[in-house]
Structure 1
Amino acid sequence: MSSPREDETGGLPPQIASRLRDLRRRSGLTLEAAARRAELSPAHLSRLETGGRQPSLPSLLALARIYGTTVSELLGETPPERDPIVRTDRAEAVTADGWTYRQAGGSGRAMQALRVHVPHGPRRGHDLVRVHPGEEWIHVLTGQLRLVLGETEHILRPGDSAHFDSLTPHRIAAAAPEGVDLLFVHTLLRSTVAELCIGGPVPHAP
């Protein structure tokens, strides 16, 4: 079975490949640093940036998050006129490491809203504490959420919310066997320090 980060053979158009390289450089990341955060080898990312490979969706999602942009903007697509309404039947689910994400807000905004299902049990990198610029707001829809802020652990139940500065070291997990469903909002601030708490690729320990 292929890795979710494995990309397909065939190349990207030159303008998109060069855009990947330009976005990485504008983010202040070396090829090695960006590849590590995206869980790619430097050689693989180099092939993407030179048009030698076509990226998979997980790779695009990872790179977009690292560079503080969207997949559409990463590919140079002109966004359509913004629609303030997000219909539930148009919110395609994306699963990564067992977590399921659905868009709950518009694209190209200063913040991103997601509906997230967090299953119970270990997730790769779940013990890593995340720190990054911005703010986060989490609202529990169903289930129970374990939220660690700094050295304090909180259990949130349906109807509970948390709003905190993302520079506070934080970690989240489902606190009950049925998992937990959340509304999650975060500011899309670009950071070369760490990825976003939810949905970002797991950073490697130094």
Structure 2
Amino acid sequence: MLSTPGGHPPDHWSPTAAGTAEALPDVAPRLRDLRRGRGLTLEAAAKRAGLSPAHLSRLETGNRQPSLPMLLGLARIYGTTVAELLGESAPEREPIIRAGLGEPAPADGWTYHRAGVPGRAMQALRLVVPYGSQGDLVRVHPGEEWLHVLHGRLRLGLGDAVHELNPGDSAHFDSLTPHRIAAVTPDGAELLFVHTLLQSPDVHPHI
């Protein structure tokens, strides 16, 4: 499905400058706190980041300075931004999304209604899915997805299994599982949808 916005470095950064210890503030405590806050062990976080546990431990204790690619990778794993890793204050976000705020965005027959605020680790949308199949389109990407059918019937393919969901039914699965979504009812289906880049320890679908 959709991917959440990733963190981007400030405009005045350059990869060369970001690779030097002098160019980066002390991010070690924030790296450690974010990992613990996400419930990840040192070994699990290091594996997802493509680092050794010893290397990540040195980053968290301040004995090594992370490069920009490392910061980007860790920000995605922890569902945050590089700016937060660097301790920059995020702008205040309005927590309430009023009905009718913003125009719906159509794309490839789907209609996306905003149900959350941008820049969060979790993306929330209200979707209108058209009738019919997606052809050969199968989605596979890091993260988790949760959906809840409001109206119509939905066909959800997860790996080799196909599930039909009625109004009131929900699904929660890891999006590394190949998945496909289509409406069964001729007038389409409407659903609530939440996606996050954070991956659960279980890579099997939860239905």
The TM-score, its normalising length taken from structure 1, stands at: 0.51
Match of 2:181 in 1: 172
Is 1:135 the counterpart of 2:136 in the alignment? no
Aligned letter for 1:163?
H
Pick the aligned partner of 2:111 from 100, 118, 125. Answer: 100
Match of 1:186 in 2: 195
Alignment of 1:1-206 (within 5 A): 80-123=91-134, 126-188=135-197
8 Å CA contact 1:91–1:104 kept in 2: the answer is no
Give me the whole-angstrom Cα distance separating, in 2, the residues matched to 1:155 and 1:148: 9
Q: Indicate the structure (1 or 2) with the bigger Cα radius of gyration.
A: 2
Give me the whole-angstrom Cα distance separating, in 1, the residues matched to 2:117 and 2:94: 7
Q: CA deviation at 1:178?
A: 1.2
Query: Which ranges in structure 1 are unaligned for 5 or more consecutive residues?
Result: 1-18, 23-67, 70-77, 190-206
Report the number of matched residues. Answer: 118
SS at match of 2:118: coil
SS at match of 1:183: strand
8 Å CA contact 2:144–2:195 kept in 1: the answer is yes
Q: What's the CA shift string for 1:132-160, capped at 9, x where partnerless?
A: 11100010000000000010100001000
Q: What's the CA shift string for 1:11-60, capped at 9, x where partnerless?
A: xxxxxxxx7xx8xxxxxxxxxxxxxxxxxxxxxxxxxxxxxxxxxxxxxx
Match of 2:205 in 1: none
SS at match of 1:95: strand
Q: What's the CA shift string for 1:107-164, capped at 9, x where partnerless?
A: 21111000000111355xx422111111000100000000000101000010000000
Query: Which ranges in structure 2 are unaligned for 5 or more consecutive residues?
Result: 1-10, 15-75, 80-88, 199-207
Give me the whole-angstrom Cα distance separating, in 1, the residues matched to 2:179 and 2:132: 18
Aligned letter for 2:190?
D
8 Å CA contact 2:142–2:197 kept in 1: the answer is no
Give the 3 Å change call, closer, same or farther, for CA 103–188 of structure 1 in structure 2.
Answer: farther
